Structure 1
């Protein structure tokens, strides 16, 4: 009887966990379907792994709109920059082999590197503190290049800063890492990824190939003015660089999530290196590791990364201490897969629900000081919206010639955070736009620089609007 009594509590806990997993899985379907519809994404694939066990690996919607082919767990999506974590992992494997050193300067591996690269280090390429530019403006994405040609062109790109002086995201830096991996590893970096990471992890992931027949490959889509279009074409070699040119499936990402929880492919030291903060020359820390962004959510450590490229958007969210990983793959550009990932995470870690901020009520809007933050004021809370009539607010905003970016925020950036709907980020003068809580930044093209009037109308607090007018425009 004693044994029966001791087993009973454990059984209750197990049954409770199974019920939670089942209920959460049903809720996942509702979350994904609602966001897929709201974000106008043809398809979505999701992988959820907890404690080394896949809880849900599923596809939703269409992989190919023209053929009406459905998304499945084995549908291939492009990773875009989410794939940087795999390149970072390969670098650490080569460090473990003694073929690379994190703090070695680039001329050790690239003898013809220009003087501006002589003090750049492998570590700084991994964490975006090398000073290297974001991209190479001389490269035509519709042309093919050899790695040597890409490297020769990159040598001519002026750095943004001295190494270690600032953090600046650099796709070019990861392209260079891939080339270095190819050189020191003795073969194309993509083949090394396959043999050293993908195959041992049980993944079918691969470098993008425009010419190969890839069963189950999803089509990528853009959306302009409410119309879905096919992704733009990119040359085969420019879709094989190390800044994120991978095909993965939800099933692949479930297996990779299990790798992140274990020690069979990556050692604990390797993972801690990937998830350690970057340090600038000044001693300032940045929450970016090696191919991962670092966050604390409700006191919990999390690492994540997104990708957005050629009609695809992706996001991975991993809680190392809670052993929970969520990956979301979408086949449309400019989507917000992180919204899906965050909502799913809160199902399995209920404490995270406290970090969600509800859309403000009319009373909150009325009482909270609001500002316009954007490119015209260095994204600082200095341009205050003043009340001009009940639940209507205005500000005079100096706009420069060209494209201006902005949104409406409270000082804490959370209580009030209004932006554009996902497909309506570009606005014109005198055009009234609906606002979305926690939406995207607005962009407006200005031909004549000067001061413009921004009006925020919240008479309908659930559906506020925004309009930008020249100062001479009559107020309706």
Structure 2
């Protein structure tokens, strides 16, 4: 999960702030016009950036990019079904995983506007079947992942039941007694459990099933005909197969009972429908501007600490510009969709390989940066001999619990973070390295002391320094 410091928007009048967040205010500004003119990029540039990652005989992605509501790039790469050898098309449906959360959030806000819910409502009052945790847990805390509810997806019980026929009630029974990771409102921890419960709230308050509510109150009004809760598609033949694997070694993903993710990640959609959804938000459909504004504002813990997450949307930066979006990782699929209001851009990439490298988030950010006229640097690997590489070997300590171990195997260098797997780092300069297609664009720079010994390591991720550490013993 990515985060960033919220831009200084608090002094803008409320109506202007809402338009700024959704892209409407930028549309009328001289700055936006200049940005649009400066970042107008030929379609070939996006294709050239994406095509090398995909083969015609393997799973792939569908991509859409819009600017001010107009499609400027739309294309698919790879296969929808390896056995049938059918090619992907942009009008095909993918599982979108946690991108579903923004639709669940919008449904909650519709019920708030209808006077049936309030952000301050206690989840236990709405769902008395949920064991009381000894403290009030508000809808706002559930929406913003500040409830403290433990994430049932991380439980061994989740993996054991994911592919089995099991009802939503039985799933609820599995995690309802898991308790809290911290007192409500005292921290941030991403929790699918909370969004599962929000689905139950929508059903109880509306008197409709979660899938029926979304169909009637969101998908049908917006004519999103290819978006649905999985199993409720109008044309299920358009759904693509999901795969897992690396390179040529891919296989069909294990089956999953979609009810186990429910309102936290149970939807299927197309890039076209997601672009329609984004345009509806920009135009202020379904909800009041103030509701859309609130849903996308980064939540503040204790009123001051930026959680980097709103109510169903993550907030971070792409090349210095505010980005509002979400990823979706679910067996066989990986998705990412983001809006960049300053540039009136919306980009969505839906992939049908859950283990794809690079993933959809990397691809979205890569082409979004191109569209913004500020592409990420393209590092090119060079060759360094074993003696040159040996100078960097050692353990660089952040603290007693966290370090970066640099090791060499022949003419290859590797980095390993405490408790995690190791990655090859490729030289792009005499003392600079990168991880190929790293989702967070990891870059390493080793710094020598006065005697020429490399004793300091500066790690950068997504243009921002993430660690500046010294070799152990120095």
Q: Same fold (TM over 0.5)?
A: yes
> CA 1:375 to 1:34, structure 2 compared with 1: closer, same or farther past 3 Å?
farther
Q: Deviations over 1:272-316 (max 9, x none)?
A: 112211222484221111121111334421112111111001000
Compute the displacement of 1:440 (Å): 8.3
Q: Is the contact made by 1:49 and 1:258 (CA closer than 8 Å) also made in structure 2?
A: no
The 5 A counterparts of 1:180-219 are: 180-204=201-225, 205-209=227-231, 214-219=236-241
Q: Deviations over 1:303-338 (max 9, x none)?
A: 121111110010002112322100001100122112
Which one of 155, 163, 177 corresponds to residue 198 of structure 2?
177
Which one of 324, 327, 338 corresponds to residue 317 of structure 1?
338
**What SS does the aligned partner of 1:321 have?**
helix
**What SS does the aligned partner of 1:132 have?**
coil
Compute the displacement of 1:234 (Å): 1.4
**TM-score relative to the length of structure 1:** 0.72
Which one of 48, 51, 60 corresponds to residue 30 of structure 1?
48
Q: Deviations over 1:345-386 (max 9, x none)?
A: 123211x32x546357779x98998986899965x4x44649
> CA 1:405 to 1:17, structure 2 compared with 1: closer, same or farther past 3 Å?
closer
Distance in 2 (CA, whole Å) between partners of 1:61 and 1:394 is 31
**What SS does the aligned partner of 1:307 have?**
strand
Q: Deviations over 1:141-174 (max 9, x none)?
A: 1333333333333321122111122211111111
Q: Which residue of 1 aligns with 2:450?
A: none
Q: Is the contact made by 1:74 and 1:250 (CA closer than 8 Å) also made in structure 2?
A: yes
Matched, 1:141 2:162: yes
Distance in 2 (CA, whole Å) between partners of 1:208 and 1:316 is 19
> CA 1:299 to 1:181, structure 2 compared with 1: closer, same or farther past 3 Å?
same
Distance in 1 (CA, whole Å) between partners of 2:232 and 2:121 is 35
Matched, 1:235 2:252: no
Compute the displacement of 1:441 (Å): 12
Distance in 1 (CA, whole Å) between partners of 2:323 and 2:391 is 30
> CA 1:417 to 1:103, structure 2 compared with 1: closer, same or farther past 3 Å?
farther
Higher RCO, 1 vs 2 (CA within 8 Å, ≥6 residues apart): 2
Q: Is the contact made by 1:277 and 1:294 (CA closer than 8 Å) also made in structure 2?
A: yes
RMSD over equivalenced CA pairs, Å: 3.9
> CA 1:329 to 1:387, structure 2 compared with 1: closer, same or farther past 3 Å?
closer
Compute the displacement of 1:232 (Å): 0.4
Q: Which residue of 2 aligns with 1:348?
A: 371
The 5 A counterparts of 1:241-390 are: 241-281=262-302, 283-335=304-356, 336-350=359-373, 352-353=374-375, 356=377, 358=379, 378=401, 380=402, 382-383=403-404, 385=406
Q: Is the contact made by 2:243 and 2:250 (CA closer than 8 Å) also made in structure 1?
A: yes
The alignment of Structure 1 onto Structure 2 pairs a total of residues equal to: 395
Q: Which residue of 2 aligns with 1:6?
A: none
Q: Which residue of 2 aligns with 1:446?
A: none
**What SS does the aligned partner of 1:67 have?**
coil
**TM-score relative to the length of structure 2:** 0.72
Could you list the runs of 5+ residues in structure 1 that have no partner in the other structure? 1-13, 410-414, 420-435, 443-476
Distance in 1 (CA, whole Å) between partners of 2:345 and 2:440 is 27
Distance in 2 (CA, whole Å) between partners of 1:358 and 1:132 is 41
Which one of 157, 160, 163 corresponds to residue 178 of structure 2?
157
Matched, 1:126 2:149: no
> CA 1:440 to 1:107, structure 2 compared with 1: closer, same or farther past 3 Å?
same
Distance in 2 (CA, whole Å) between partners of 1:245 and 1:271 is 22
Could you list the runs of 5+ residues in structure 2 that have no partner in the other structure? 1-32, 426-430, 443-474
Matched, 1:44 2:61: yes
Q: Which residue of 2 aligns with 1:102?
A: 119
Q: Which residue of 1 aligns with 2:428?
A: none
Q: Is the contact made by 1:107 and 1:117 (CA closer than 8 Å) also made in structure 2?
A: no
Compute the displacement of 1:100 (Å): 1.5
Distance in 1 (CA, whole Å) between partners of 2:147 and 2:351 is 31
> CA 1:230 to 1:118, structure 2 compared with 1: closer, same or farther past 3 Å?
same
> CA 1:211 to 1:276, structure 2 compared with 1: closer, same or farther past 3 Å?
closer
Distance in 2 (CA, whole Å) between partners of 1:332 and 1:109 is 38
Distance in 2 (CA, whole Å) between partners of 1:193 and 1:96 is 16
Q: Is the contact made by 2:92 and 2:270 (CA closer than 8 Å) also made in structure 1?
A: yes
The structure with the largest alpha-carbon Rg is 1
